[in-house]
């Protein structure tokens, strides 16, 4: 089972740093290549994903449409992504400053928004910057162009069907497709920006 399947619906950070507007919209389409399966239809493939946005983009999204609801430090978008999963934007005071986040919450679960807020606060209150292996893999998937990432289909080994694959380059074989979960530490480092390559690993919460 891939880390994505294992973490589905659990709050998880999918991008390190503050997303640019271009990155934000790309993250909204993060699973546009996903098969039309139950996970996509129910929104489970998206539910729990979160990332940081700028104050300007937070405010812009608030102004696009009247929110479904507004509550203190958050608002939910009126348009549902799938089933009862929708975008929720947070404005949270962390370490003395106001920061802004987007997360996909399943409103069919009454506690989903509170769990998302708690997860963001816990993760972003860490005393030093670090990334889990899963966060590094999610970052790679989030920032890789669609021509260099895919969901394994009938052309792949049956055991890989529906799992995330990315292009890697081998001195011996040139361009090859490889399971995202099977990337080595060196391959992960090669795909991360320089400033993230040497962040200390932490165990998943």
Specify the pLDDT at position 200.
62
Q: Are residues 38 and 116 in the same domain?
A: yes
In a domain, 84, yes or no: yes
Q: Are residues 120 and 142 in the same domain?
A: no
CA 50 centroid distance within chain? 6
Specify the pLDDT at position 123.
93
Query: Of 124, 148, 178, which residue constitutes the final position of a domain?
Result: 124
CA dihedral in degrees (34, 39, 45, 48; nearest 10)? 170
Q: Are residues 94 and 188 in the same domain?
A: no
Q: Are residues 118 and 34 in the same domain?
A: yes
Q: Are residues 93 and 171 in the same domain?
A: no
Q: Are residues 7 and 101 in the same domain?
A: yes
Query: Of 98, 124, 150, which residue constitutes the final position of a domain?
Result: 124
In a domain, 203, yes or no: no
Q: Are residues 71 and 146 in the same domain?
A: no
Query: Of 124, 148, 169, which residue constitutes the final position of a domain?
Result: 124
In a domain, 152, yes or no: yes
Ramachandran angles phi, psi of 90, nearest 5°: -115, 145
Number of structural domains the chain divides into: 2
Tell me if the pTM is above 0.75.
yes
How far is the C-alpha of 40 from the C-alpha of 77, rounded, in Å? 19
Specify the pLDDT at position 2.
54
Specify the pLDDT at position 199.
67
Q: Are residues 94 and 191 in the same domain?
A: no
Length of the chain as a residue count: 205
Specify the pLDDT at position 33.
87
Q: Are residues 16 and 86 in the same domain?
A: yes
Q: Which range of residues forms the domain containing residue 81?
A: 3-124
Specify the pLDDT at position 158.
74
In a domain, 204, yes or no: no
- What's the start-to-end Cα distance of the chain, in Å? 18
Specify the pLDDT at position 147.
93
Please give the average pLDDT of every successive group of 10 residues along the chain, which has 205 residues.
Answer: 55 95 94 88 93 97 92 93 94 93 95 96 84 93 93 78 89 87 93 79 53
Specify the pLDDT at position 37.
85
Q: Are residues 98 and 149 in the same domain?
A: no
């Amino acid at each position: 089972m891939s880390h994505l399947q294992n973490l589905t619906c659990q709050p998880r950070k999918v991008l390190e740093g503050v997303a640019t507007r271009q990155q934000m919209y790309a993250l909204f389409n993060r699973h546009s290549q996903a098969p039309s399966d139950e996970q996509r239809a129910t929104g489970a493939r998206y539910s729990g994903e979160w990332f940081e946005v700028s104050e300007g983009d937070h405010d812009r999204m608030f102004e696009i449409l009247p929110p479904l609801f507004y509550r203190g430090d958050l608002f939910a978008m009126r348009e549902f992504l799938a089933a009862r999963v929708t975008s929720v934007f947070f404005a949270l005071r962390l370490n003395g400053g106001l920061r802004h986040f987007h997360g996909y919450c399943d409103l069919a679960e009454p506690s989903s928004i509170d769990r998302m807020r708690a997860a963001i606060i816990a993760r972003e209150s860490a005393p030093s910057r670090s990334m889990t292996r899963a966060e590094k893999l999610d970052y790679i998937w989030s920032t890789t162009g669609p021509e260099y990432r895919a969901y394994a289909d009938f052309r792949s080994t049956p055991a890989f069907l529906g799992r995330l694959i990315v292009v890697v380059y081998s001195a011996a074989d040139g361009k090859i497709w490889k399971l995202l979960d099977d990337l080595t530490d060196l391959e992960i480092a090669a795909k991360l920006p320089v400033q993230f390559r040497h962040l200390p690993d932490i165990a998943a919460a």
